[in-house]
A and B are shown apart, each in its own frame.
Chain A
Amino acid sequence: MSNVPVAIRAALEPQVNLIPPEIAGRKAQGRRTGLIILAFVALLGLIVAATYIAGTVRNSAQATLDQSVAEKAKIETEIASYQYVIDAQTELTNATSARLFVGAADLQWDQMLQNIQGALPAGTKIDTLKWSPTTIDSATNTSVAAVFSVPDVGSIAIAGQSLNAIDIPQLQDSLDAVPGLARARLLTVVPVQPSDGGLIWTFTATVRVTFDALSGHFTDDWLANRDLVRSTTFFSDQVSRAAADLAAAQAEAVAGVSGAAGRVGDALKSVGENQASLAQAKALGALYKADLDAASKAQAAVLAATGGAGADVKAAQDALTAAQASLATHRDALNAFTKVALKYAGAVRAVSDEQARIAAADAKVTTAQAAVTTAQAAVVAKTQGAAAALVAAQADKAAADAALVAEKALLPDLEAAVTSAKSELVAAAAEAAKVAPVPTSGSDS
């Protein structure tokens, strides 16, 4: 704070710079140098920070990349685990293609022969027929330029004979009309007279086989048709089997009805016979009843005749009845007793079991008691030993006490002896004093 009075209105700060310019310049230079150094440090810090951030970004990107690469390896491993599917697909594709290929050159010969035979006029028969196809064998699958350049899959050569004159255009048209055949050419027609007379016409012909003649074996349409035929056959078989079962069941039912009818007839016959037997039995019963009545009457007559004897018999019967009742009673009692006895036996067995358990428990108790006794004996023995030791100790103590008392008893004598000795000492001192000269100055000792 300035000491200049306010009234003077002097400037608050010094208005005159007394620092020499050189010094001021050096100070300014120092400040600039410091600022520059500070700026360099800050710049260096910025560069380091930027480098660090860039490194972090790089590391993060690299980590993400590593994760993606690891994920790729995982996916590839999983894909590899499905290789069997690819193998199966490849195998299936190969097998399907091979099967289509082998079926591509197939021609169903039964149908073709029938068609060719059907195309020939009546009375004509084939002597020889030869099929020269395009084959799957590469060695024979050579291309030869055809005259008319109409592609096909082979040819059939036919040689035959006819009993009638051959209508050549008609035969060619007929052969061309066969599905899968085209461009029939009748090469030779020669009338021949056999040795047995008459006249026949021999011929040779060729006909081209077109793509339509091939069966398309193993194509989708063929497979579908095959499956249809198979399923139709299967269900047809099922139907046939069911029909056979039904017929068998019907036959069995008919046989059953027939058998049942026979059994009904037998039963009816049996009923008739039984009815006859019943009537006969009734008649016999009537006779029996008559006999019984007669017997009853006779018995009544006998009873009446026997009189008292009958009463005795009745009494005996009553006694018997009573005895039987008594027997029943006793039997019931016996049964009851038996039940009780069984219960008792069960109870006895339970008691026996319980006794056995008690005995076992007793044995355990005895064993425990013995153990206790042994322990007690041991305790007693130890106690007795301790008591003996106590007694001995007490005896020792008594002896010690006695010795003490004895010693105490000796004490007066000793004290007396001491006193006596003191007295003798005093006496001896007095005697001595008498003998010795007495000093001139007084003395009380």
Chain B
Amino acid sequence: MKALENSAAIVGAVMVALLMVVIGWFFGVAPRLNAANAASAANEQQLSENAALTTTLQGRKEAAKLMPTYQAGLSDAHDALPLTEGLADWRRTLDAMVAATGVTLVQDGVADPVVIANTLALADAAAAVGKQSYVEALAFKGLVATPFTIEFAGSPGQIGAFLTELQGDDHRFYLVSDLTSTTYTSDGTILGRPVFAGDADVAVSGYLFTLPNGASAAVPAAPAAPSSPAPVTTVEPTVAPTTAAPAGAPAG
């Protein structure tokens, strides 16, 4: 009977000891070790992120050294696409080109500016001649186009010189998007200035462009190119080649 009591006491003590170990483990040691493991894992993750951030920082430091290059490139781009619409400058340039080439300015005008998005699809047209278009991959924001029209008259040489000046790169970029040329068949006058048979009246439409400062604020860092370019326009003439003679032009 005594031995039985002793055995029970020993078993009980062992059970209590085991209970203490279990309680100590689950309520004392294990939570702390788990917290330590979690902190270590988080630290590993953090170190990995820090390494990536350090790489990013290094990249930016390297990029900062190229700031003069960026600024020069930006300045060059803004030569073609100024920060402001500058219609007065446009008018002065036009007058200078007219004076330099000797054409007669019949009329000119500008329309309201519009924001332009990239809707050009030249991939197929380029592929048709064995080339590759770069237009579809272009992503930009804030480009504003101001439509203009110019009608002028002059000899073929004067017209060529005027077009060369207009499309030259000594000033902001002017895109000629439409052109109609009508040749005078006899001598006459226009706006009081003489024109001769063989001279021509040329009407051009186009755009002058503006890229205001900060226009790219919403531009994604890496614009994605469209996966499948839109079909290319293969337009037969939508406007019949029957252009009316300009006002004042002699009847042909």
Residues on A facing B (Cβ under 8 Å): 25, 29, 32, 36, 39-40, 43-44, 47-48, 50-51, 54-55, 57-58, 60-62, 64-65, 68-69, 71-72, 75-76, 78-79, 82, 85-86, 88-110, 113-114, 117, 125-138, 141-147, 149-155, 157-159, 204, 206, 208, 210-212, 214, 217-219, 226
Contact = CB atoms under 8 A, between A and B. Distances in A.
A57 B134 CA distance: 59
A134 B43 CA distance: 58
Contact of B35 (A62, A82, A88): A62
Given A58-B35, A110-B164, A97 B140 contact: yes
B28 A102 contact: no
B24 to A, nearest CB: 3
Nearest to A83: B60
Given A113-B159, A130-B243, A145 B135 contact: no
B46 A69 contact: yes
Nearest to B230: A143
B128 A151 contact: yes
A114 B231 CA distance: 31
Given A61-B40, A102-B209, A142-B233, A128 B181 contact: yes
Contacts of B135: 100-101, 104
B236 interface: yes
A109 B20 contact: no
A445 B167 CA distance: 174
Interface of B: 2, 6, 9-10, 13, 16-17, 20-21, 24-25, 28-30, 32-33, 35-37, 39-40, 42-43, 46-47, 49-50, 53-54, 56-57, 60-61, 63-64, 67, 70-71, 73-74, 77-78, 80-81, 114, 116-122, 124-129, 131, 133-135, 138-143, 145, 147, 156, 159-161, 163-164, 167, 169, 173, 175-183, 185, 198, 204, 207, 209, 211, 214-217, 219, 221, 223, 230-243, 252
A152 B21 CA distance: 84
Contacts of A36: 9-10, 13
Given A126-B183, A135-B177, 6 more contacts: A57-B32, A58-B32, A103-B173, A135-B178, A157-B237, A226-B169
Contacts of B134: 100, 104, 219
B53 A72 contact: yes
B128 A150 contact: yes
A211 B131 contact: yes
Given A101-B118, A105-B120, A210-B129, A82 B182 contact: no
A264 to B, nearest CB: 51
Given A72-B53, A79-B60, A95-B81, A109 B176 contact: yes
Contacts of B57: 75, 78-79, 82
B167 A110 contact: yes
Contact of A61 (B39, B74, B141, B156): B39
18 contacts: A40-B16, A54-B28, A54-B30, A58-B36, A91-B74, A92-B77, A95-B78, A98-B140, A106-B176, A109-B176, A110-B164, A132-B239, A146-B235, A151-B231, A153-B122, A154-B233, A155-B237, A217-B173
Nearest to B78: A95
A130 B238 CA distance: 11
A75 B180 CA distance: 61
Contact of B175 (A91, A93, A136, A157): A136
B102 to A, nearest CB: 15
A130 B231 contact: no
A130 B179 contact: yes
A82 B77 contact: no
A143 B231 contact: yes
Nearest to A158: B241
Contacts of A50: 24, 28-29
A292 to B, nearest CB: 85
Contact of A146 (B80, B122, B167, B234): B234
Contacts of B141: 94
Contact of A39 (B17, B209, B242): B17
Contact of B28 (A51, A69, A132): A51
A18 B147 CA distance: 128
A182 to B, nearest CB: 8
A433 to B, nearest CB: 128
Contacts of B176: 106-107, 109
A152 B125 contact: yes
Given A100-B134, A143-B233, A157 B126 contact: no
Contacts of B252: 127
Contact of B234 (A32, A51, A150, A204): A150
A86 B173 contact: no
Nearest to B167: A108
Contacts of A44: 20
A134 B232 contact: yes
Contact of B241 (A92, A102, A204): A204
A94 B219 contact: yes
Contacts of B198: 125
B236 A155 contact: yes
Contact of A153 (B125, B156, B223): B125
Contacts of A75: 50, 53-54, 57
Given A43-B21, A218-B80, A149 B234 contact: yes
A286 to B, nearest CB: 81
A106 B129 CA distance: 17
A104 B211 CA distance: 16
B139 A97 contact: yes
Given A85-B63, A94-B141, A135-B177, A211 B167 contact: no
A128 B243 contact: yes
Contacts of A82: 57, 60-61, 63-64
Contacts of B214: 91
Given A43-B20, A69-B46, A130-B237, A136 B207 contact: yes
Contacts of B179: 109, 129-131
